[in-house]
Amino acid sequence: MTKLNFVSLQSDGTHIVLSDDNGKTYHLPITPELRHALRRPSPVVQSTPASGTPSLRPRDIQAMLRAGASVEEVAANGNVSEEHVRRYEGPIVAERDWAIQQARECTVGHELGAPTLGEIVVDRLAERGVDTDSLRWHAFRESTEPWNVTVSFTAGGKERVARWRLDIAARSVKAMEDEARWLSETDSASPRARRHVRSFDPLVDSADSPDEGEESSEQNTESLLDHLAKNRGRRPEPSPFGASDETSDLFFGGGDDIPAAHPSRPEEANDAVVLSFPDREPEPPGENELDIEVERPEKPKKSKKSGRRSVPSWDEIVFGGKSDS
Protein backbone atom coordinates (compact mmCIF):
# COMPACT_ATOMS: atom_id res chain seq x y z
CA MET A 1 0.00 0.00 0.00
CA THR A 2 1.46 3.31 -1.10
CA LYS A 3 1.22 6.16 1.33
CA LEU A 4 0.29 9.49 -0.26
CA ASN A 5 0.82 12.92 1.14
CA PHE A 6 -1.20 16.06 0.50
CA VAL A 7 0.63 18.60 -1.65
CA SER A 8 -1.90 21.26 -2.69
CA LEU A 9 -5.29 21.98 -4.14
CA GLN A 10 -5.46 22.40 -7.89
CA SER A 11 -6.07 25.97 -9.05
CA ASP A 12 -9.47 25.16 -10.54
CA GLY A 13 -10.57 23.56 -7.26
CA THR A 14 -11.61 20.26 -8.81
CA HIS A 15 -8.61 18.07 -7.86
CA ILE A 16 -6.30 17.47 -4.92
CA VAL A 17 -2.59 17.08 -5.66
CA LEU A 18 -0.93 14.22 -3.74
CA SER A 19 2.60 12.74 -3.78
CA ASP A 20 4.31 9.59 -2.54
CA ASP A 21 7.65 9.19 -0.81
CA ASN A 22 9.44 9.01 -4.17
CA GLY A 23 8.08 12.42 -5.26
CA LYS A 24 5.60 11.07 -7.75
CA THR A 25 2.45 13.25 -7.91
CA TYR A 26 -1.14 12.10 -8.07
CA HIS A 27 -4.36 13.97 -8.84
CA LEU A 28 -7.47 13.01 -6.87
CA PRO A 29 -10.80 14.40 -8.19
CA ILE A 30 -13.04 16.04 -5.62
CA THR A 31 -16.36 14.22 -5.81
CA PRO A 32 -19.51 14.60 -3.67
CA GLU A 33 -18.64 11.32 -1.98
CA LEU A 34 -15.23 12.68 -1.04
CA ARG A 35 -16.74 15.88 0.31
CA HIS A 36 -19.23 13.93 2.42
CA ALA A 37 -16.54 11.67 3.79
CA LEU A 38 -14.39 14.62 4.79
CA ARG A 39 -17.27 16.31 6.59
CA ARG A 40 -18.11 13.32 8.76
CA PRO A 41 -16.63 13.48 12.26
CA SER A 42 -13.61 11.28 12.66
CA PRO A 43 -14.22 8.23 14.89
CA VAL A 44 -11.80 9.21 17.59
CA VAL A 45 -11.90 7.75 21.05
CA GLN A 46 -13.37 10.23 23.52
CA SER A 47 -10.74 11.41 25.90
CA THR A 48 -11.99 12.36 29.34
CA PRO A 49 -10.01 14.30 31.89
CA ALA A 50 -8.42 12.49 34.76
CA SER A 51 -11.15 13.72 37.09
CA GLY A 52 -13.76 11.96 34.96
CA THR A 53 -15.84 15.12 34.26
CA PRO A 54 -17.43 15.45 30.77
CA SER A 55 -16.17 17.96 28.21
CA LEU A 56 -19.42 20.02 28.25
CA ARG A 57 -20.53 21.96 31.29
CA PRO A 58 -24.20 21.69 32.38
CA ARG A 59 -24.67 25.36 31.50
CA ASP A 60 -23.48 24.73 27.95
CA ILE A 61 -25.71 21.68 27.59
CA GLN A 62 -28.79 23.62 28.72
CA ALA A 63 -27.93 26.55 26.47
CA MET A 64 -27.80 24.22 23.46
CA LEU A 65 -31.09 22.57 24.42
CA ARG A 66 -32.73 25.96 24.98
CA ALA A 67 -31.60 27.07 21.53
CA GLY A 68 -33.54 24.19 19.97
CA ALA A 69 -30.99 21.39 19.70
CA SER A 70 -32.14 17.85 20.42
CA VAL A 71 -30.55 15.52 22.94
CA GLU A 72 -28.91 13.53 20.16
CA GLU A 73 -27.42 16.65 18.56
CA VAL A 74 -26.03 17.92 21.86
CA ALA A 75 -24.51 14.53 22.65
CA ALA A 76 -22.90 14.27 19.21
CA ASN A 77 -21.53 17.81 19.20
CA GLY A 78 -20.29 17.65 22.77
CA ASN A 79 -18.88 14.11 22.58
CA VAL A 80 -20.93 13.06 25.59
CA SER A 81 -23.48 10.34 26.09
CA GLU A 82 -27.18 10.96 25.61
CA GLU A 83 -27.88 9.84 29.17
CA HIS A 84 -25.60 12.58 30.43
CA VAL A 85 -27.47 15.21 28.38
CA ARG A 86 -30.91 14.05 29.58
CA ARG A 87 -29.89 14.75 33.15
CA TYR A 88 -30.13 18.48 32.36
CA GLU A 89 -33.05 18.36 29.91
CA GLY A 90 -35.92 18.60 32.44
CA PRO A 91 -35.70 22.32 33.34
CA ILE A 92 -35.35 23.28 29.67
CA VAL A 93 -38.44 21.29 28.70
CA ALA A 94 -40.37 23.11 31.43
CA GLU A 95 -39.15 26.47 30.09
CA ARG A 96 -40.23 25.56 26.57
CA ASP A 97 -43.69 24.44 27.68
CA TRP A 98 -44.13 27.65 29.67
CA ALA A 99 -43.15 29.83 26.69
CA ILE A 100 -45.55 27.92 24.40
CA GLN A 101 -48.39 28.35 26.88
CA GLN A 102 -47.71 32.08 27.24
CA ALA A 103 -47.69 32.56 23.47
CA ARG A 104 -50.90 30.59 22.91
CA GLU A 105 -52.69 32.63 25.58
CA CYS A 106 -51.72 36.00 24.06
CA THR A 107 -54.74 37.91 22.79
CA VAL A 108 -54.78 38.74 19.08
CA GLY A 109 -56.32 42.21 18.70
CA HIS A 110 -57.44 44.85 21.18
CA GLU A 111 -61.22 44.33 21.13
CA LEU A 112 -63.10 42.96 24.10
CA GLY A 113 -63.35 39.19 23.77
CA ALA A 114 -60.66 38.94 21.07
CA PRO A 115 -59.40 35.37 20.45
CA THR A 116 -56.08 34.07 21.69
CA LEU A 117 -53.27 32.94 19.42
CA GLY A 118 -53.98 29.27 20.13
CA GLU A 119 -57.68 29.66 19.33
CA ILE A 120 -57.26 31.60 16.10
CA VAL A 121 -54.54 29.24 14.81
CA VAL A 122 -56.73 26.19 15.40
CA ASP A 123 -59.77 27.85 13.78
CA ARG A 124 -57.93 28.98 10.65
CA LEU A 125 -56.12 25.70 10.16
CA ALA A 126 -59.42 23.84 10.58
CA GLU A 127 -60.93 26.03 7.85
CA ARG A 128 -57.95 25.12 5.70
CA GLY A 129 -58.66 21.42 6.18
CA VAL A 130 -55.66 20.72 8.42
CA ASP A 131 -55.88 18.08 11.12
CA THR A 132 -55.54 20.24 14.23
CA ASP A 133 -54.73 17.23 16.41
CA SER A 134 -51.42 16.85 14.57
CA LEU A 135 -50.14 20.36 15.34
CA ARG A 136 -46.65 20.44 16.85
CA TRP A 137 -45.75 23.43 19.01
CA HIS A 138 -42.13 24.20 19.77
CA ALA A 139 -40.16 27.00 21.46
CA PHE A 140 -36.51 28.00 21.38
CA ARG A 141 -34.37 30.88 22.53
CA GLU A 142 -30.91 32.07 21.53
CA SER A 143 -28.91 33.34 24.51
CA THR A 144 -30.70 36.45 25.86
CA GLU A 145 -32.95 36.89 22.81
CA PRO A 146 -36.76 36.65 23.19
CA TRP A 147 -38.50 33.30 22.89
CA ASN A 148 -39.51 32.11 19.44
CA VAL A 149 -42.62 29.92 19.31
CA THR A 150 -43.39 27.79 16.25
CA VAL A 151 -46.20 25.53 15.12
CA SER A 152 -45.62 22.85 12.48
CA PHE A 153 -48.37 21.36 10.32
CA THR A 154 -48.92 19.72 6.96
CA ALA A 155 -51.00 21.57 4.36
CA GLY A 156 -51.19 21.02 0.62
CA GLY A 157 -48.83 18.08 0.87
CA LYS A 158 -46.06 20.26 2.32
CA GLU A 159 -44.62 20.62 5.78
CA ARG A 160 -45.11 24.19 6.92
CA VAL A 161 -43.85 26.12 9.94
CA ALA A 162 -45.22 29.39 11.35
CA ARG A 163 -43.07 31.36 13.78
CA TRP A 164 -43.86 34.15 16.26
CA ARG A 165 -41.66 36.15 18.61
CA LEU A 166 -42.96 36.30 22.18
CA ASP A 167 -42.78 39.51 24.22
CA ILE A 168 -43.20 38.41 27.83
CA ALA A 169 -43.47 41.94 29.28
CA ALA A 170 -46.14 43.09 26.82
CA ARG A 171 -47.85 39.68 26.68
CA SER A 172 -47.95 39.85 22.90
CA VAL A 173 -46.64 37.95 19.90
CA LYS A 174 -45.27 39.19 16.58
CA ALA A 175 -45.54 37.20 13.37
CA MET A 176 -42.12 36.62 11.82
CA GLU A 177 -43.13 35.36 8.35
CA ASP A 178 -46.09 35.21 5.97
CA GLU A 179 -47.36 31.87 7.26
CA ALA A 180 -47.62 33.24 10.80
CA ARG A 181 -49.21 36.47 9.59
CA TRP A 182 -51.89 34.54 7.71
CA LEU A 183 -52.67 32.48 10.80
CA SER A 184 -52.77 35.23 13.42
CA GLU A 185 -53.24 38.70 12.01
CA THR A 186 -56.69 40.28 11.91
CA ASP A 187 -57.94 43.53 10.37
CA SER A 188 -57.88 45.29 13.73
CA ALA A 189 -54.41 43.95 14.62
CA SER A 190 -52.93 44.79 11.21
CA PRO A 191 -51.33 48.24 10.81
CA ARG A 192 -53.19 48.55 7.53
CA ALA A 193 -56.60 48.27 9.20
CA ARG A 194 -59.18 50.70 7.79
CA ARG A 195 -60.38 53.54 9.90
CA HIS A 196 -64.09 53.97 10.45
CA VAL A 197 -65.48 56.39 7.87
CA ARG A 198 -69.06 57.68 8.07
CA SER A 199 -70.91 58.33 4.83
CA PHE A 200 -71.96 61.94 4.27
CA ASP A 201 -75.62 62.79 3.72
CA PRO A 202 -75.91 66.46 2.75
CA LEU A 203 -79.58 66.68 3.75
CA VAL A 204 -79.19 65.05 7.15
CA ASP A 205 -75.87 66.69 7.99
CA SER A 206 -77.04 70.15 6.99
CA ALA A 207 -80.19 69.80 9.08
CA ASP A 208 -78.34 68.52 12.11
CA SER A 209 -75.52 71.05 11.97
CA PRO A 210 -76.14 74.02 14.33
CA ASP A 211 -73.52 76.24 12.71
CA GLU A 212 -75.91 77.84 10.22
CA GLY A 213 -78.52 78.74 12.86
CA GLU A 214 -75.93 80.16 15.22
CA GLU A 215 -74.46 82.27 12.43
CA SER A 216 -77.85 83.80 11.56
CA SER A 217 -78.59 84.56 15.22
CA GLU A 218 -75.24 86.30 15.65
CA GLN A 219 -75.89 88.48 12.58
CA ASN A 220 -79.29 89.60 13.90
CA THR A 221 -77.80 90.47 17.29
CA GLU A 222 -74.99 92.50 15.72
CA SER A 223 -77.48 94.40 13.52
CA LEU A 224 -79.61 95.34 16.52
CA LEU A 225 -76.60 96.50 18.54
CA ASP A 226 -75.33 98.62 15.63
CA HIS A 227 -78.69 100.34 15.29
CA LEU A 228 -78.92 101.08 19.01
CA ALA A 229 -75.41 102.51 19.04
CA LYS A 230 -76.18 104.88 16.16
CA ASN A 231 -79.39 106.19 17.73
CA ARG A 232 -78.22 106.40 21.34
CA GLY A 233 -79.24 109.73 22.91
CA ARG A 234 -81.76 110.53 20.17
CA ARG A 235 -85.48 110.60 20.89
CA PRO A 236 -87.37 108.48 18.29
CA GLU A 237 -89.96 110.32 16.17
CA PRO A 238 -93.44 108.82 16.32
CA SER A 239 -94.74 107.28 13.14
CA PRO A 240 -98.07 108.44 11.68
CA PHE A 241 -98.80 104.89 10.65
CA GLY A 242 -98.97 103.34 14.10
CA ALA A 243 -96.57 100.92 15.70
CA SER A 244 -95.83 98.85 12.61
CA ASP A 245 -92.96 101.05 11.40
CA GLU A 246 -89.31 100.21 10.77
CA THR A 247 -88.33 100.81 14.40
CA SER A 248 -91.05 98.48 15.61
CA ASP A 249 -90.02 95.87 13.06
CA LEU A 250 -86.41 96.17 14.13
CA PHE A 251 -87.23 95.65 17.80
CA PHE A 252 -89.88 93.01 17.38
CA GLY A 253 -88.68 91.38 14.19
CA GLY A 254 -91.81 92.16 12.18
CA GLY A 255 -93.21 88.73 12.97
CA ASP A 256 -93.85 86.22 15.67
CA ASP A 257 -90.20 85.57 16.53
CA ILE A 258 -89.49 88.01 19.37
CA PRO A 259 -85.83 88.01 20.43
CA ALA A 260 -85.11 87.10 24.03
CA ALA A 261 -84.26 89.93 26.43
CA HIS A 262 -83.62 87.94 29.56
CA PRO A 263 -80.30 87.56 31.36
CA SER A 264 -78.44 84.29 31.42
CA ARG A 265 -79.44 83.76 35.06
CA PRO A 266 -83.17 83.69 35.89
CA GLU A 267 -82.69 85.28 39.33
CA GLU A 268 -81.28 88.44 37.69
CA ALA A 269 -84.38 89.04 35.52
CA ASN A 270 -86.51 92.20 35.97
CA ASP A 271 -90.06 92.82 34.98
CA ALA A 272 -90.31 93.85 31.34
CA VAL A 273 -91.05 97.50 30.60
CA VAL A 274 -93.64 98.05 27.88
CA LEU A 275 -93.26 101.10 25.65
CA SER A 276 -96.61 102.74 25.04
CA PHE A 277 -97.26 104.66 21.83
CA PRO A 278 -99.94 107.42 21.63
CA ASP A 279 -103.12 106.84 19.75
CA ARG A 280 -103.35 108.35 16.31
CA GLU A 281 -105.07 111.73 16.25
CA PRO A 282 -106.78 113.06 13.19
CA GLU A 283 -104.81 115.66 11.29
CA PRO A 284 -106.17 119.18 11.89
CA PRO A 285 -107.29 120.83 8.66
CA GLY A 286 -104.87 123.28 7.22
CA GLU A 287 -101.89 121.97 9.13
CA ASN A 288 -99.10 120.10 7.45
CA GLU A 289 -97.17 119.20 10.57
CA LEU A 290 -98.09 116.65 13.18
CA ASP A 291 -98.32 117.71 16.79
CA ILE A 292 -97.93 114.50 18.75
CA GLU A 293 -96.73 114.30 22.27
CA VAL A 294 -94.51 111.41 23.20
CA GLU A 295 -95.18 109.87 26.56
CA ARG A 296 -92.09 108.75 28.35
CA PRO A 297 -92.36 105.30 29.84
CA GLU A 298 -92.42 104.85 33.54
CA LYS A 299 -89.16 104.35 35.28
CA PRO A 300 -88.38 100.70 35.83
CA LYS A 301 -88.65 99.41 39.33
CA LYS A 302 -85.48 99.04 41.22
CA SER A 303 -84.24 95.56 41.66
CA LYS A 304 -85.03 94.22 45.08
CA LYS A 305 -81.92 92.12 45.07
CA SER A 306 -78.87 94.05 46.15
CA GLY A 307 -75.33 93.40 45.08
CA ARG A 308 -76.28 92.27 41.57
CA ARG A 309 -76.19 94.13 38.33
CA SER A 310 -79.67 94.83 36.93
CA VAL A 311 -80.68 94.56 33.32
CA PRO A 312 -80.68 97.92 31.41
CA SER A 313 -84.16 99.31 30.77
CA TRP A 314 -85.58 100.21 27.38
CA ASP A 315 -84.92 103.87 28.27
CA GLU A 316 -81.22 103.20 28.43
CA ILE A 317 -81.23 101.16 25.23
CA VAL A 318 -83.38 103.54 23.10
CA PHE A 319 -82.54 107.00 24.50
CA GLY A 320 -79.11 106.37 25.92
CA GLY A 321 -80.10 107.61 29.35
CA LYS A 322 -79.09 106.13 32.70
CA SER A 323 -81.70 104.81 35.07
CA ASP A 324 -81.71 106.05 38.62
CA SER A 325 -79.86 103.68 40.85
Note the pLDDT tens digit of each residue in 168-185.
Answer: 998 999 999 899 999 988
Report pLDDT for 193.
37
For 12-21, what is the mean pLDDT? Answer: 80
Give the range among 119-123, 281-285, 310-314 with minimum mean pLDDT.
281-285
Report pLDDT for 309.
58
Average pLDDT over all residues of the chain: 72
Nearest partner of 148 among 95, 192, 194, 212, judged by Cα: 95
Q: b/e map of 28-54 (b: 16 or more CB within 10 Å)?
A: eeeeeeeeeeeeeeeeeeeeeeeeeeb
Here the contacts of 134-140 (C-beta below 8 Å, separation 24 or greater) are 137/100, 137/104, 138/68, 138/96, 138/100, 139/95, 139/96, 139/97, 139/99, 139/100, 139/103, 139/166, 140/66, 140/67, 140/68, 140/96
C-alpha–C-alpha distance, residues 121 and 129, integer Å: 12
Report pLDDT for 276.
56
Report pLDDT for 104.
94
C-alpha–C-alpha distance, residues 161 and 177, integer Å: 9
C-alpha–C-alpha distance, residues 274 and 258, integer Å: 14
Domain ranges for the chain: 1-40, 90-184
For 263-291, what is the mean pLDDT? Answer: 54
Report pLDDT for 315.
72
DSSP H or E stretch at residue 127: helix 117-127
Report pLDDT for 125.
93
> Are 149 and 137 within 8 A, CB to CB?
yes
Tell how far CA 265 is from the center of its chain. Answer: 44
Residues paired with 138 in a beta bridge? 150
Q: Is the pLDDT of residue 307 over 80?
A: no
Here the contacts of 128-135 (C-beta below 8 Å, separation 24 or greater) are 128/155, 129/155, 130/154, 130/155
Instruction: Work out the pLDDT band at 239, boundaries 50, 70, 90.
Output: very low
pLDDT tens-place string over residues 32-88: 777 767 765 554 444 444 444 557 899 999 999 999 999 999 999 888 999 999 999
pLDDT tens-place string over residues 129-145: 999 899 999 999 988 89
Report pLDDT for 97.
95
pLDDT tens-place string over residues 183-231: 988 764 444 433 333 333 444 444 444 455 555 566 666 776 676 666 6
